[in-house]
Chains A and B, each alone.
Chain A
Amino acid sequence: MTLKNDCFRLGASELMRIYRDMVRIREFEEACPALYSQGKMGGFLHLYSGQEAVGVGVAHAMHREDFMVSAYREHGLILAKGTPPGPVMAELFGKVTGVSRGKGGSMHMFDAERRFMGGYGIVAGHLPLAVGLGFSILYRESDEVVVCLFGDGATNQGVFHEAMNMAALYKVPVVFVCENNGYGIGTSVGRASSVEQLYKKSCAYETPGSRVDGMNVLEVYDAVRQAINRAREGAGPSYIEAVTYRFRGHSISDPGTYRSEQERKMWKERDPIPNFSRWLIDQGYAGEAIIQGIVEEERALIAKAIEFAEKSPDPDLEELWTDVYADA
């Protein structure tokens, strides 16, 4: 992979923040399995390790007031959008200090303030929601945009096509980002989709589609920023397929036997984080010590987040009945 910074010419501080955010996500995710086996968390746990370059490339191309909507593999995305690790970890612990007050869990995080508009567990169910958010932007005559992330598997749902058509029809400012990690649970893309190059699926709606290397954070950034600019200028939706890989099983309980050792090894070599840090060093943005220092700082931050989650209280039992309706 070649990392290139000649499109938007990001400054050193932005590049270092990109690195830090990817490290933060990796440290967060890799802390989870042990906590899960200790019974601190329940339910499903879909980890983002390996896909950091997509979420971080996307988030850095967005403005703070832009909306992000995603599927259930979203710990990394909400962190990339700027939510501190403490409330994200607390949500996994089911605590009242969690981003969804302990009611959502791993798959259903939300941060209204940072415009992270939810993690959703019904595959592709959130795509029309992104169209609606986009519609609200046009309606309010505002200049925000929406970025909607989903997996390769989602592109086979009927509602994906409904959303793509409506987005193009109403020219909403939405960027669709398909995180193609090669599999929907144990089913490879080629066994589930008649079209393997998923970026081609938008052409039926005359929406520009492109494919980027999802392990290359700068390539993701460039493509998403261009698409966002286009949306902000009123030119309508676009669709980006980011080719990536999840380093772990589909969820914590998946041994992942359907993927060969060789395949996993090949993708491990393309790990977006060490590749980016090597590039930062080669280009003279940072020395070894700074790179290592960032890892240690982020590790400490995650340790604090775990402590925060641990010490936070469970919701009161009365919370079972709150927020079903507006007035209660």
Chain B
Amino acid sequence: MAVMTCREAINQAIVEEMERDSSVFILGEDVGLYEGSFKVTRGLLARFGETRVVDTPIAEAGIIGMACGAAMGGLRPIAEMMTVNFAIVAMDQIMNSVAVARYMFGGQVSVPMVIRAPGGGGNQLGAQHSHSLEALFLHCPGIRVIMPSVPADAKGLLKSAIRSEDPVLFLEHEGLYAVKGEVPEGEHLVPLGVAHIKRRGSDLTLISLSKMVYVCLEAAERLAEEGIEAEVIDLRGLNPLDMTLVMESVARTGRALTVEESWLTGGWGGEICARIVEDGFDLLKKPVLRLGGADVPMPYNRMLEQAAIPGVQDVIARARELF
């Protein structure tokens, strides 16, 4: 298997799907000539030309609305938002057009499009560029929300997303683009909505996704030194939400902690905890706990920013509260 970065795996998925299906095209700011502001779309313009790799003006609402219309017209657009904070400029199109069209029109129309958007903190980009906004989209029925943590999943999930008949919000983490891993060649599909156990453990279930998976894995190693064996689940997305795997794990461990980079209040951890309690109260040895980002706009100062994002020590401290 080839070893490559998340960036390259995403690029490979786009190339393969564009080769396979001529209705797939990509549009966004600086995706063509500039090859993407995170260089994810490198080589695409040269390979597929301007009709299929479309540089757009800075006009997020226009881009998402145009992609939605193109999808209704029979194409399969991949719309790139330079970061997820800019996707909220297009929130109206996402929530009032893309997500609702199929339902509102009685199932007559499909909107098979993917919105790719990087996000997350850690680069001192401040309060208008660094947030993790997946919970906003999770709240909205009609749109899938996918968040890979490793290159193989990035490729396999994106390929599935492009083939999905539903609109998919595909959230990449800026801090993971350079992470390397093995990636299967060719037809590698990871189904949407299937979580993955990254580490086995019998005492506690850590539930996370995207970059926080790495934080949980490191915390789990440290907890093991204290004799606590944590199971780490990578949800790989929030909609569809794989509660089956989560409940199986909690049935074995009896303890659960959600770990997210997004704001704790109204974050996805609360949703998962509620579902665990609703369906599995009797399985629990302790109340479920949440850990999330500080409920503040992201600060610029490095120390403050680090303090706003959950770290390994925070996970360990919260996990200990369960014993």
Chain A positions within 8 Å of B, measured between CB atoms, are 42-44, 91, 94-95, 100, 102-108, 120-125, 153-154, 156-159, 184-187, 191-193, 258, 314-315, 317, 319-321, 324
Contact = CB atoms under 8 A, between A and B. Distances in A.
B128 A105 contact: no
Given A42-B124, A121-B126, A157-B58, A186 B30 contact: yes
B223 interface: no
B57 A124 contact: no
B57 A156 contact: yes
10 contacts: A43-B123, A43-B126, A105-B124, A107-B125, A121-B126, A123-B58, A258-B33, A314-B303, A319-B304, A321-B294
B29 interface: yes
Contacts of A315: 301, 303-304
A29 B86 CA distance: 27
B124 A94 contact: yes
Interface string B11-32: 0000000000000000001100
A317 B305 CA distance: 10
**Closest 10 A-B residue pairs measured CB to CB?**
A186-B34, A105-B300, A42-B124, A156-B57, A94-B301, A121-B128, A43-B124, A192-B57, A102-B301, A103-B299
Contacts of A103: 126-127, 299-301, 304
Interface in B114-154: 123-129
Contacts of B294: 320-321
B59 interface: yes
Given A121-B128, A185-B37, A158 B62 contact: yes
A78 to B, nearest CB: 15
Contacts of B300: 42-43, 91, 94, 100, 102-106, 108
Interface string B273-301: 00000000000000000000011110111
A95 B296 CA distance: 18
> Which of A43, A44, A184, A314 is most buried by chain B, counting CB atoms within 10 A of its CB?
A43
B301 A191 contact: no
B77 to A, nearest CB: 19
B47 interface: no
A108 B304 contact: no
Contacts of A153: 57-58
Nearest to A192: B57
A320 B57 contact: no
B9 interface: no
Contacts of A108: 126-128, 300
Given A107-B129, A122-B85, 9 more contacts: A44-B125, A44-B129, A94-B302, A95-B301, A107-B128, A108-B126, A108-B300, A192-B57, A319-B299
A47 to B, nearest CB: 16
B142 to A, nearest CB: 23
A320 B123 contact: no
A226 B300 CA distance: 38
A320 B304 contact: yes
A154 B59 CA distance: 9
B58 A320 contact: no
B299 A320 contact: yes
A165 to B, nearest CB: 16
> Which of A91, A108, A324 is most buried by chain B, counting CB atoms within 10 A of its CB?
A108
A192 B54 CA distance: 11
> Which of B34, B294, B308 is most buried by chain A, counting CB atoms within 10 A of its CB?
B34
A60 B274 CA distance: 59
A104 B128 CA distance: 10
B89 A185 contact: no
A95 B303 CA distance: 11
A42 B59 CA distance: 27
Given A102-B301, A104-B300, A121-B126, A320 B307 contact: yes
A186 B42 CA distance: 14
Contact of B125 (A43, A124, A192): A43
A15 B195 CA distance: 67
B197 interface: no
B61 interface: yes
Contacts of A314: 301, 303
Interface in B53-74: 55-59, 61-62
Contact of A42 (B30, B62, B302): B302
A243 to B, nearest CB: 19
B59 A158 contact: yes
B187 to A, nearest CB: 33
Nearest to A108: B126
